[in-house]
Structure 1
Amino acid sequence: MHFQFDVRRVLPSRLAAFVIAVFLALSLAGCATRPVTGTPVRLDDTPRIAVMSAFEPELTLLLRQLQAPARHRVNGVDFHTGTLQGKPVVLFLSGISMVNASMNTQLVLDRFNIHSIVFSGIAGGVNPGLHIGDVNVPAQWGQYLEVLMARETAPGKFTIPPRMEAQTLAPFGMLHPRPVETRTAASPVPVRKFWFEVDPRMLAVARDLGSIPLESCNAGVCLTHKPQLLVGGNGVSGQAFVDNAAFREYAFKTFQANVLDMETAAVGMVAYSNSVPYIAFRSLSDLAGGGEGANEMVTFMNIAADNSAKVLLAFLAAWK
């Protein structure tokens, strides 16, 4: 036997409608106020600096210097706690790509007591005044592949939808970069941002580092010049490995970028949303398509990775 209760059969129509309306309102209110469950459990309560790199060669030197190491594993990611230059830290790999960097930056913030973030790694050089092995510490980072792909309305002519013109930057063909919508706990109203600024106090410490002896050779491979440290300027990030001279020139002209990578702007956006200060150290392993021959990344990757790590270690030693 199947029995179905219908409130409209036992109550006058107007009263039945009222009862149904109240029931729905209470149900919706319950959904709206239900607390979030499953909050991640912290693995460590010590206030720490999150020290990130994208892939193993970038973290090698730092792991060798880590004192009193302990390992935690979450979602397949190894987090190494300990001290660097006397500072409590947690070292880990973000993984290559913007998505990996976003996901694992949030993961470390959820599972550890993080008061600041520093990134060390390699990058493609965009500014023609920089050389392989140089280390740049940009003042801000943007996402050059957060784009609108415009419609081709004539051969070589691309048109973007009406009323979206003001939201885009200078294009590269059909690609029109634009700001991304962001929000924070302190500012829940969405704000469109392209640049995510590093922490000014951390940048000031980096500016005062002075001369740091950077490597010119690794495993018999040597540069033809002495690497330098440059603090300031812009960096850009996107979901692409860039080895294209035309795009390199465009990125320098449009964003005045010194370097280009695949993670830092994503880290900057997560840091911004969580109100956590960050800074990034990036050493040039290649010229993003600006070299005379084949891409140099594999050849000079270890020199660049170690130079970035050396500047980061000097920064940690100086930061009080």
Structure 2
Amino acid sequence: MPAPLSHRPETTALAARCMRLLGALALATLVAGCAAIAPGQAARLDSTPRIAVISAFAPELTVLLPQVQQPARHSVNGVEFTTGTLSGKPVVVFLSGISMTNAAMNTQLVLDRFNVSHIVFSGIAGGVNPGLHIGDVTVPAQWGQYMEWLMAREDQPGQYSAPAWMKSELTMPAFGMMHPRPVEVRSAAKPGITKQFWFEADPQMLATARGLQDVGLAHCLASTCLKQRPQLVVGGNGVSGQAFVDNKAFREYAFKTFEANVLDMETAATAMVAHSNGVPYIAFRSLSDLAGGGEGENEMGTFMGLAAANSAKVLLAFLSNWK
């Protein structure tokens, strides 16, 4: 008489394989479920509270990375993060990449993957305030996005009008058809959508920057020297946008409209991400050029290295004095 189906060897082997497959599927489902519930906690690469030190492109960071003590490197989405200490403070140092999108994306990335207590940006910028000079280091008290624009309708040649429903938020003068607007923002502290133009730097960090003395800013690069000794300027405004500005007329507009000392392509985006996450931030930006206000060709290619070094010097002095 043949053996019952459940007792046959081939049936037993098949059942065992099915059980193993079901077990693997259950484990995969469990792991995926845990990742979906808490991706931030699962993805943390380092638990030490650190100051995030950000620069936009390589020449700005090359003066800082060699000074990081006990460096450890982590790569996420192609971005290399270096943890260690700088001027005695625990830091995570990285390049955001140039542009507002890169700055916002990778500022959020460092907040998600590391235990960031504060954010510091260090780099170069175009000078807007005619009272400032190449090599000066600015530490604005607030940053805004000047390219959150309405492109207005041209009713007649050279005459532009905005939609009636939008006029209440157009409180600043236009540059031709381009009207600056506040940006929509949400945060952990205020989940509802609000609109604002300025994102303030942390008052305590600004107070530390104001207390810096004798930083020793460089005024010569090889055989090329600046006419004025660079100075440290703490306070005032900075603006950021998705454009490299080398235009005298727009420089004058930016100073008159925003009372800006400098403009760049990243800081206001990082400031907005810091605001949304409730993380204090400050930015050090040294003038590499005058954003089109110079007498001849744009000066960035000549003074980029000097400006980056001056910004880094102020950053290191700030970290040394930060409590």
TM exceeding 0.5: yes
Q: Does 1:162 align with 2:164?
A: yes
Q: Does 1:223 align with 2:223?
A: no
* 142, 151, 154: which one aligns with 2:153: 151
Amino acid across the alignment from 1:229: L
* 45, 48, 57: which one aligns with 1:46: 48
2:67 matched residue in structure 1: 65
Q: What is the CA-CA distance between 1:221 and the residue it aligns to?
A: 2.6
Q: What is the CA-CA distance between 1:36 and the residue it aligns to?
A: 4.6
181-190 vs 295-304, greater mean Cα deviation: 181-190
Q: How many residues align?
A: 286
Amino acid across the alignment from 1:220: S
* 189, 210, 214: which one aligns with 1:211: 214
Q: Secondary structure at the match of 2:80?
A: strand
1:234 matched residue in structure 2: 237
Q: What is the CA-CA distance between 1:186 and the residue it aligns to?
A: 1.8
Q: CA-to-partner distance for each residue in 1:46-84, whole Å, 9 max, x for gaps?
A: 000000000011011111211111110001001000001
Distance 1:257 1:53 in 2: 20
Q: CA-to-partner distance for each residue in 1:91-138, whole Å, 9 max, x for gaps?
A: 000000000000000000000000000000000000000000000000
Q: Secondary structure at the match of 2:43?
A: coil
Q: What is the CA-CA distance between 1:166 and the residue it aligns to?
A: 1.6
Q: Does 1:243 align with 2:243?
A: no
Q: Does 1:265 align with 2:242?
A: no
Q: What is the CA-CA distance between 1:37 and the residue it aligns to?
A: 5.6
Distance 1:263 1:205 in 2: 23
Kindly report which structure 2 residues correspond to 1:116-155, keeping only aligned pairs within 5 A, or say none.
Answer: 116-155=118-157
Amino acid across the alignment from 1:278: Y
Q: CA-to-partner distance for each residue in 1:263-319, whole Å, 9 max, x for gaps?
A: 000000000000000000000000000000000001000000000000000000001
2:101 matched residue in structure 1: 99
* 86, 89, 103: which one aligns with 1:87: 89
Distance 1:38 1:128 in 2: 48
Q: CA-to-partner distance for each residue in 1:143-167, whole Å, 9 max, x for gaps?
A: 0000111000011001000121121
With structure 1 as the length reference, what TM-score do the two structures score? 0.88
Distance 1:117 1:47 in 2: 12
Q: What is the CA-CA distance between 1:224 and the residue it aligns to?
A: 1.8
Distance 2:212 2:78 in 1: 36
2:284 matched residue in structure 1: 281
Distance 2:67 2:284 in 1: 17
Amino acid across the alignment from 1:138: P
Q: CA-to-partner distance for each residue in 1:10-47, whole Å, 9 max, x for gaps?
A: xxxxxxxxxxxxxxxxxxxxxxxxx7564451000000
* 309, 316, 320: which one aligns with 1:306: 309
Please provide the CA RMSD for this pair. Answer: 1.0
Runs of 4+ with >6 A deviation: none
Amino acid across the alignment from 1:294: E
182-191 vs 84-93, greater mean Cα deviation: 182-191
Distance 2:301 2:255 in 1: 23
Q: CA-to-partner distance for each residue in 1:238-272, whole Å, 9 max, x for gaps?
A: 00000000000000000000000000000000000
Q: What is the CA-CA distance between 1:210 and the residue it aligns to?
A: 2.2
Distance 1:311 1:170 in 2: 34
Q: Secondary structure at the match of 2:117?
A: strand
263-272 vs 216-225, greater mean Cα deviation: 216-225
Amino acid across the alignment from 1:307: N
Q: Secondary structure at the match of 2:62?
A: helix
